[in-house]
Every structure is written in C-alpha cells, then in structure tokens.
Amino acid sequence: MKKSSSILLASLLAMPLSQGAIVTGLVGYWGFEDSTTNGGSGGSAFDGVLMGNAATTGTVRAGSGALLLDGSGDYLDITSTVDVNQPWTVSAWFNSDVAPTGRGMVFESSGSFAMSFGIREGTPATNTNFQAFADAATGGDPSGDFQIGDAATIGAWHHILLAFTPSTSTTSGSITGYLDGTQSYNLTVPTGVSLVAANGFHIGTYRSANDRWFDGSIDEVGMWNRTLSPAEAASVYRAGQAGLAIPEPSVAMLGSLGLILLFRRRAS
C-alpha cells in the first residue's frame, strides 16, 4: 500500500508543472473580472480602456466577468503590444450574439493586422467563416478560413489561439491556429519576410477601430511573448473548457494537493 501510495503521490506532484509553464511569457492577460487591468507580467502598460458602451458584464467563460460588446462602437483599447516580429501567441474565448453579415473582429493589432482573428458571413450565408490573417511587409498577406454553421456560432463559446514563429533569412515563418483545441490554420510567412509593425492591440474591433465590431462576449484573452507549443495550446483550451482562468492552477493541481494531504494524514 505504501509503495502504490508513493507512486500515486509522485504522479500527482508532477501534474502541476505544465500549468506553471503556461504563464511563462504571459505579458498580457485580460480576464475582465470587473476590471480591464492587465493581469500579465507586462504590467500597467498593457491595461485596457473600455471604448463606446463596452462593459465587463458579459456572459462569462471563466471567473465572474467578460467583455460585453453590442456590435456598434464598442471595444477594448490597449496601447501596447509585443514585438510582432518576435515569437508571440494570442488566445481568446468568444461568444457571438448574432450570425455575422459583415465582419466582426475578436482581436486585431492596431497599426497593422499582424495579429488578427475575426468572424464574417460564410459561403453559403448560413455559415460563419472564422478567419485568421497576418500582415506581411511584402504584401500577399497569409490568411486562413474555417467555416461552421450559424447555428453552432450564435450563443456558443469558441476558442482561438494563434502562435507565431518568425521567418529567418533561411526559413519561412508561420502562424499556427487552433480553433476549439484543434489545429485548423497554418499561415506561412515567406522566408526573410517580416510582419508590419503594430503599435497597440484591439479586442472587439479591427486595427482602425471604426468598423468590424464584434457583437457578443469575449473572455480570457492572453498574449505571450513566445510561441506556445501544441501541448500548451491544448492545455489553455482545456483550462477554459473547465471554467479556469489562464493564470489559475488547474483542477488537477488542486485535487492533487488535497490527495497529498489526505495521504500524509493517513501515513502519520
């Protein structure tokens, strides 16, 4: 019994390590818990400002708040972003109140569309097209599309995570996109080509913030200054599915601590 308990304890103690790794490089985090302040390591430079009628009383994915947008002039304005030509990752949960007839951006960098994801009317019109874009300095901007039926869009939570690996003088770069935990996009940035520099970040609209408004709720937005691995992308998605915030310990971690204490009491 003692041997099996020791094996179980060793396994449980190992479980939290991957969760701890998720917050490494998390420079921007907006959980919208009655606030738009940044919970990441980037500090107040990444604090957001509510614009229009935006509020933090939306339908939540995790915690007690979410960004609520009415599709007309509402968004969160952040005046800092990571260097878009270094490794980065952006993750967000979103829940649309409507099937789009135009375009509605979940997020996009300002100054360029180096970081860009949104929804628009699909083909046929009963579909919603989930689109990822990148703003290449030489034009020919890479993009990716993934369509689902409108019935699965309206009032449903979806998750997007875009992970960027820059190009070099000898290798191409890429933006790998995971929609609802499944790799669905692979945008190629040509060898030696950079992305157009950004000077801020918008949640709920596009770079110019005068159109393409998102109508619904957005929650658990994270920005890393590194490229998350496929395993880390899956971990972020699973945490959100369980209603956990990105910086919080996982259910497995909390359960592990409880079991460890139980075993220790029984052993004493």
Q: Is the pTM of this model over 0.85?
A: yes
Answer yes or no: is 134 within a domain.
Answer: yes
Answer yes or no: is 118 within a domain.
Answer: yes
- For the chain, give me the number of helices (H) and strands (E)? 4, 14
- pLDDT at residue 247 in the model: 87
Q: How many domains does the chain have?
A: 1
> With a cut of 70, which residues of the chain have pLDDT below it?
1-20, 248-268
Burial-class residue 183 by CB neighbours within 10 Å (0-12, 13-18, 19+).
middle
Answer yes or no: is 265 within a domain.
Answer: no
Answer yes or no: is 256 within a domain.
Answer: no
Rg (CA), the chain: 20
Residue listed under structure tokens 């009655």: 34
Q: What is the CATH number of the domain that holds 188?
A: 2.60.120.200
Answer yes or no: is 4 within a domain.
Answer: no
99: domain range?
20-247
Give every CB contact of residue 29 below 8 A, 6+ residues apart in sequence: 38, 39, 40, 221, 222, 223, 246, 247
Answer yes or no: is 1 within a domain.
Answer: no
Answer yes or no: is 257 within a domain.
Answer: no
> Which residue, among 86, 11, 60, 23, has the nearest Cα to 235 in the 3D structure?
23
- pLDDT at residue 14 in the model: 38
> Which residue, among 89, 3, 40, 22, has the nearest Cα to 252 in the 3D structure?
22
- pLDDT at residue 141 in the model: 95
Answer yes or no: is 260 within a domain.
Answer: no
Q: Where are the alpha helices (DSSP H) in 113-250?
A: 230-241
> Which residue, among 228, 226, 142, 132, has the nearest Cα to 189 in the 3D structure?
142
